[in-house]
Structure 1
């Protein structure tokens, strides 16, 4: 094993690839094959909707200031399809001899002119369309017939067995490599040999695709030429590995009982995209853009996923070569601005949408998403909706800036989805936010009041410090509880840096100096280091200052940027609760707590907001979900006790009494809680006698019995009190509540 040599990584090289960034080290060699043959790739594709995007203009690299930082990398899930969260059905390896097409034809509805995009080769009045000819619109020649036949020997090395499929740039043939142990290989040629741009794209592939090395990307072995049987002109063919399996398009082609296309389960779709993103990130790290990502171009065989059909791959700075795109998947700016990392990630998100729900992605919603009112899945999983919305934003600068950044948020959304499906939390540490600094809303003495806004702001997670910041070491050793003293310490920091600025802003907010904090945020927004944290801290300042509407809007924006982070949902829930929107706050608290029990504030917030909505059982259930192993278990039990008291009925009061007896509280606290239960029971008996035989804390629901019990508790408190005046007051209360007697 060795250490990854890529900047800012530090992972370990295992099997030729880094276990942290998922990439091959800069000096790595191609991994050896087994038994002389590569691990291989079945090809399935379609020409439908695939067209040239024109010459690239200017490739955009980097994100806007509002975009989240993309300096961190996501841990590769290579070899672990499903990321350890989802069980993905295996796709059996497909015997290549059974994969050859018996009658290789391009369906008429998939025939388009390579130059102008008009329909060609279409039949009329029952007469089939021609597979070869000229476009009526622009005169460009077209040909949709295979150029290789079974038995052809290409480059005196590759024996053709037949056609496997057709893709955006050409026919795909199965062949045997006679020079390397008769291994199965795939030959990809040009679909339309009259297309000079397509030929140029194939030539470009020869120059750099053979150097691409990633376990989730098809391996290019060779580039050869073979004469066209009609014109005798040489045609280029790319030789690549064969993988027997099924494309995600095929896996998505299942039909429901009504004959409609059945979407893939959301967790499975997310897992597939999470698996392929490191491959996209690898291409981007090599200054390459994939350009034409879609379900056709991902193949699963057994437990492995491969990215295939590299025909549209291009260099980021290539402004001359013709680009290729597929309607319904491509970004809207391709014609004017050219391809970019952001446009690649746009296609990834569109693919995820197509895999997981049905919508008119090539028509009404060609570049946009349908509203949640039309797609129940988007309404059920708002974090998933926000993930898609960010990745497909109209402005490329508002999208994810890197594949690793997108992967970080997808895995957070995946954890949320899986937890919702089976009810089991899926906790994980965030690389973007710290955990809760304090638990807010857990003080039994203040239950069920909403904590003070400043208390909530000081308890919420904070964005992680960039380890590359020059003051990272200083900040790691600066731990001062008093925010005013912390302000002074940060002002005297030995070095000025973005992280010091943000820490100072946070300290000012906690010290109550909101105006100064907002002024410093405005100044920092003009710097080159500005990013999404400006919006986060504006939300924090608004929350601490009591401007709950502004806080809600700011945190809602950050949630849209980072939909997989629990911290964004927790902050938004708190802002909504403070603003009085208990229903929306409750749903957000539930999302956080159901996914990760590492945020107890969410459990208390959930119980509190459900109680506000008069969902007594829901509030009790939320409080009871805090596990016994938690240091906040007793506080949660007292919250459940408070919810039962609020329930008011005899059933709830009996349960409250039973809960209280089981709690290990000191005698004084237990006596005061007992008085609350007994007093509520006495108030109930004035209206209803209660259930026959029911008792609360061992006493019947009768006024005389409850008075005696209350008297006993007050006298017990008097004995425990060390204050003479307090003791006298408690004795007077005992005398006042005792039942009337002749003695």
Structure 2
């Protein structure tokens, strides 16, 4: 299934908002701004285990027999010169900048803290080359200067200048990029310092997702400039107070640059880079890998899981948060065509997954509008009975209409018109207009499916697929056709593919839940319905579905609570209250208590004021019959003296009188004479015996 969806490939090019870390959903702990002087390294050295030849990648500068390794020399394998010595020291002047000392080292060079003597002694950072003899590194530095002069985004470190200074040993000019000082901590440091129960632990998944959601607009901005970042990892994001900054832009190149060296980091870089070069998809791959490293105890990410992820059986986090797992699977898919194809799309799905995660962790809903599907407009079943498959098709959210489609305005005018009527209106349109509108074609597929014309739906969908390739909506509508036709196993596979592609969306989960319910798989149905309902109470169909699944699994009390959670503002609140009452009446011959009867009486009293008389009398009969069967077995031990049920004492004679009254009331409402006679006969049959 192709990941291609409507919208700009480059994603959003707008600037991110300051102070939005957490997407308005979670409060991320701020990182205090650090005193720049506290960042200076007392003894700046590159650890021996991080010394490698810049040409062939062989270890260099390693110690032997207890003697430390050399910081300068030549690679034994390819004889390329290496140097890990800082080229600047405190009090050096590089143009207008006074060097204060080293603060870090990275793949391309040492990073120095300095003061800009021409601009109020402001703090700046100078980034130089690790090895001035490396032609690729020199080219990367020049490229960084060129590209970063174009970049202006609040989540990307600002480049101020580019200066040169002679090498202290050779006198050759060495280039330095001058950038703003970002006083905070890298996500690598934040993860390393995180503790849970006093022990080092991965970051909470919600916090890590919040970081990714905040930084993805910066990727979208770069991609909009036809640039790729390449070397994204936890080391290269700094949090300062409540803002993130993308730093270390040395690996940035143009997407169509076939000559520049490509810099990346093992365990984060996409596997196709060496052969196919960088792309939007390879950039987003690094975001997915970074999320995995931040949230898992992931020691094998450079070895065992170099190009894969642990399974849910190996990583409990993935078992708990399946949608997060599926999002990472898509972001890091071996086939770039099956990854997210824009930063905007990935951020949309991550935000939706974040809502799910928070709803589970905090046990409270976190609703949000979908970018891919419209809202729920109906509920397929408001009873304890499983819905009809075609009712599910008519009730599931519909994919959003592309506003740029030629038929968008026409479809918008149809509003909530029944699908059969929409079909007639669409078929009345000129064939040329429909042929030019993929959205009108898909609506005809949906309408044909809803009315049971599966042959027409299949034919039209085949035509759409031939013209649009692996558009995810093909899988969605094919799944609807299979669902309506009773091909449930096939439908589950198709909806599962949509879930894989759009892991944050509620619609595929609702579809999968309905398929599982219709197949009798109550546990799976409860899982999907529960995820949707827990996240967003506007999906009332999920509440009814979850309650039905719980009832089938023998969890009546939980089901009643779910029915009771349907909002008062919902048009289905009364139906949910009735379903809850009916659930309390099922199989209660032996466990119905006096307290239960009091609860049922209150629930019925509320419903009787809102139901039509015929409906209310029929419900009363069910209540009386259930109570009567309970009394036939045993009188509840906690039954209070004089306790009443729908205005009748909880005694056999009084309950019979109540049933008689309900039957006679129904007889008076009946319009058919035969039906009226039947109801009177039933009233007489249950009437308490008297001497008259």
Scaled by the length of structure 1, the TM-score of the pair is 0.88
Residue among 394, 404, 407 paired with 1:458: 394
Which residue number corresponds to residue 223 of structure 1?
Answer: 162
Equivalents in 1 of 2:87, 2:515: separation in Å? 65
Question: CA offsets, 1:483-507, max 9 Å, x none?
Answer: 4443343234352221121111112
Equivalents in 2 of 1:381, 1:76: separation in Å? 30
CA contact 1:498–1:529 (8 Å) conserved in 2: no
Question: CA offsets, 1:179-202, max 9 Å, x none?
Answer: 222111110001122211111111
Instruction: Flag the 1:381–1:76 CA change in 2: closer, same or farther, 3 A.
Output: farther
User: Within 5 A, what are the aligned runs for 1:372-383?
Assistant: 372-383=312-323
Instruction: Flag the 1:713–1:512 CA change in 2: closer, same or farther, 3 A.
Output: same
Residue among 622, 646, 655 paired with 2:562: 622
Structure 1 window deviating more from structure 2 (639-648 vs 526-535): it is 526-535
Which residue number corresponds to residue 331 of structure 2?
Answer: 391
Equivalents in 1 of 2:489, 2:252: separation in Å? 46
Which residue number corresponds to residue 657 of structure 2?
Answer: 708
Larger RCO (CA under 8 A, 6+ residues apart): 1
Structure 1 window deviating more from structure 2 (663-672 vs 292-301): it is 663-672
1:637 equivalenced with 2:577 (yes/no): yes
Instruction: Flag the 1:285–1:305 CA change in 2: closer, same or farther, 3 A.
Output: same
1:266 equivalenced with 2:182 (yes/no): no
The offset of 1:734, in angstroms, is 1.4
Equivalents in 1 of 2:58, 2:295: separation in Å? 30
Which residue number corresponds to residue 621 of structure 2?
Answer: 675
1:538 equivalenced with 2:472 (yes/no): no
CA contact 1:328–1:361 (8 Å) conserved in 2: yes
The offset of 1:528, in angstroms, is 4.0
CA contact 1:524–1:530 (8 Å) conserved in 2: no
Which residue number corresponds to residue 54 of structure 1?
Answer: none
Which residue number corresponds to residue 675 of structure 2?
Answer: 726
The offset of 1:77, in angstroms, is 5.2
Equivalents in 2 of 1:164, 1:675: separation in Å? 80
Residue among 186, 190, 193 paired with 1:254: 193
Which residue number corresponds to residue 469 of structure 1?
Answer: 405
Corresponding residue SS for 2:364: coil
Instruction: Flag the 1:66–1:240 CA change in 2: closer, same or farther, 3 A.
Output: closer
CA contact 2:15–2:218 (8 Å) conserved in 1: no
Which residue number corresponds to residue 599 of structure 2?
Answer: 655
The offset of 1:522, in angstroms, is 2.0
Instruction: Flag the 1:493–1:523 CA change in 2: closer, same or farther, 3 A.
Output: same
Which residue number corresponds to residue 690 of structure 2?
Answer: 741
Equivalents in 1 of 2:419, 2:549: separation in Å? 30
Corresponding residue SS for 1:611: helix
Residue among 213, 225, 230 paired with 2:152: 213
Residue among 180, 183, 198 paired with 2:122: 183
Give 5+ residue unaligned stretches, structure 1.
1-63
Instruction: Flag the 1:723–1:493 CA change in 2: closer, same or farther, 3 A.
Output: closer
Which residue number corresponds to residue 301 of structure 2?
Answer: 361
Equivalents in 2 of 1:70, 1:261: separation in Å? 41
The offset of 1:654, in angstroms, is 4.5
The offset of 1:715, in angstroms, is 2.5
Which residue number corresponds to residue 230 of structure 2?
Answer: 291
Question: CA offsets, 1:363-422, max 9 Å, x none?
Answer: 111111101112111111111111111101110000000000100101101111112222
Which residue number corresponds to residue 609 of structure 1?
Answer: 549
Instruction: Flag the 1:77–1:686 CA change in 2: closer, same or farther, 3 A.
Output: farther
Equivalents in 2 of 1:69, 1:466: separation in Å? 7
The offset of 1:712, in angstroms, is 2.5
Question: CA offsets, 1:614-635, max 9 Å, x none?
Answer: 1101110110111222221101
CA contact 1:644–1:653 (8 Å) conserved in 2: no
1:666 equivalenced with 2:605 (yes/no): no
Residue among 327, 345, 359 paired with 2:284: 345
Equivalents in 1 of 2:324, 2:58: separation in Å? 36
Equivalents in 2 of 1:191, 1:637: separation in Å? 70
Corresponding residue SS for 1:253: helix
Equivalents in 1 of 2:238, 2:448: separation in Å? 53
Residue among 91, 111, 118 paired with 1:151: 91
Question: CA offsets, 1:249-289, max 9 Å, x none?
Answer: 11000264798641111111111100000001100000100
The offset of 1:480, in angstroms, is 7.9
The offset of 1:639, in angstroms, is 1.1
Structure 1 window deviating more from structure 2 (73-82 vs 543-552): it is 73-82
User: Within 5 A, what are the aligned runs for 1:328-339?
Assistant: 328-339=267-278
Equivalents in 2 of 1:639, 1:302: separation in Å? 50
CA contact 1:693–1:700 (8 Å) conserved in 2: no
Instruction: Flag the 1:705–1:259 CA change in 2: closer, same or farther, 3 A.
Output: closer
Which residue number corresponds to residue 139 of structure 2?
Answer: 200
Corresponding residue SS for 1:526: helix
CA contact 2:15–2:221 (8 Å) conserved in 1: no
CA contact 1:225–1:235 (8 Å) conserved in 2: yes
The offset of 1:721, in angstroms, is 3.6
Instruction: Flag the 1:405–1:76 CA change in 2: closer, same or farther, 3 A.
Output: farther
- Figure out how many residues of one structure are paired with residues of the other and give that number: 675
Which residue number corresponds to residue 317 of structure 1?
Answer: 256
CA contact 1:67–1:532 (8 Å) conserved in 2: yes
User: Within 5 A, what are the aligned runs for 1:83-232?
Assistant: 83-155=23-95, 157-232=96-171
The offset of 1:508, in angstroms, is 1.3
1:691 equivalenced with 2:623 (yes/no): no
1:308 equivalenced with 2:247 (yes/no): yes
Instruction: Flag the 1:679–1:565 CA change in 2: closer, same or farther, 3 A.
Output: same
1:508 equivalenced with 2:445 (yes/no): no
Structure with the bigger percentage of helix: 2
Equivalents in 2 of 1:684, 1:285: separation in Å? 71
CA contact 1:82–1:275 (8 Å) conserved in 2: yes
Corresponding residue SS for 1:487: helix
Instruction: Flag the 1:482–1:278 CA change in 2: closer, same or farther, 3 A.
Output: closer
Structure 1 window deviating more from structure 2 (299-308 vs 258-267): it is 258-267
Structure 1 window deviating more from structure 2 (419-428 vs 245-254): it is 419-428
Question: CA offsets, 1:641-692, max 9 Å, x none?
Answer: 1111125131345432331122222332222111101111222223233224
The offset of 1:733, in angstroms, is 0.9
The offset of 1:740, in angstroms, is 2.5
Equivalents in 1 of 2:24, 2:307: separation in Å? 32
The offset of 1:119, in angstroms, is 1.1
What do you get for the CA RMSD once the two structures are aligned?
A: 1.9
Corresponding residue SS for 2:193: coil
Instruction: Flag the 1:482–1:93 CA change in 2: closer, same or farther, 3 A.
Output: closer
Equivalents in 1 of 2:520, 2:240: separation in Å? 51
Scaled by the length of structure 2, the TM-score of the pair is 0.94
Instruction: Flag the 1:214–1:482 CA change in 2: closer, same or farther, 3 A.
Output: closer
Instruction: Flag the 1:628–1:501 CA change in 2: closer, same or farther, 3 A.
Output: same
Instruction: Flag the 1:457–1:528 CA change in 2: closer, same or farther, 3 A.
Output: closer
Corresponding residue SS for 1:176: strand
